[in-house]
Structure 1
Amino acid sequence: MARERLYVVTYDISDSKRWRKVFRLLKGFGHWIQLSVFQCRLTARRRSEMMAGLECVMNMAEDHVLIMDLGPADKVEMKVESLGKPYEAPKRQATIV
């Protein structure tokens, strides 16, 4: 079985139409955490698919996406500090493709 890694993906997209496309694309790869922030558990193959999709949607001269690799998904101990509205961690569940 391919090993998953945990990623935090954030984005700053200057056009609202492209922003919606990026949002919809990332919903297929992870959990929406907050405005323009996703948490993704990805194999190397799924990460490559996500990157290819982003490159098709983004304007490389105007938009910016950060992909932070937090390490092996099964070994990461998430520590989240939240202010204001309570934070709810995404539930891990099977996804049928």
Structure 2
Amino acid sequence: MHLSGRNCFVVSYDIMDPRRLQRVHKSMKGFGEPIHYSVFRCNLTPKGRVELIAALTGLIKHDQDRIMIIDLGPADGGADDRIEFIGVR
């Protein structure tokens, strides 16, 4: 699959309230694939990244929760090589 124009992002989150955590997790499933507990891999266009941030911004409490977004570069440019697992993948 050619993913030109998309970057690979790793999104990790710490959400303090179980209800908000459930809403964030459900929203994240619309943007990417879970790769670990509270960690998703998302291949997004620039517009998709903006939409992701907008969706998450509206779900969290900014004084309690935290979301980390890591840009691994072009999705078809070896992003898989920059994600390393030890143990069960």
TM-score, normalised by the number of residues in structure 2:
0.89
Q: CA RMSD in A?
A: 1.6
Distance 1:77 1:59 in 2: 30
Alpha-carbon shift at residue 2 of structure 1 (Å): 6.6
Q: Which residue of 2 aligns with 1:83?
A: 86
Q: Distance in 1 between the 2:79 and 2:71 partners?
A: 13
| Amino acid across the alignment from 1:34 | H
Identity %: 38
Q: Distance in 2 between matches of 1:23 and 1:3?
A: 25
After superposition, the C-alpha distances for 1:26-66 in whole angstroms (9 at most, x for unaligned) are 00000001100000000011111110000110000000000
Match of 1:33, SS state, is strand
Query: Structure 2 CA distance, aligned partners of 1:40 and 1:17?
Result: 23
**Structure 1 CA distance, aligned partners of 2:7 and 2:79?**
12
14 and 68 in structure 1: CA distance in 2 versus 1, 3 angstrom threshold: same
In structure 2, the residue matched to 1:73 is 75
Gaps of 5+ in 1: 88-97
2:63 pairs with 1:50: no
Distance 2:12 2:43 in 1: 14
Return structure 1 stretches of 4+ with deviation > 3 angstroms: none
Structure 1 length as normaliser, TM-score? 0.82
Give the aligned length. Answer: 86
- Gap runs ≥5 in structure 2: none
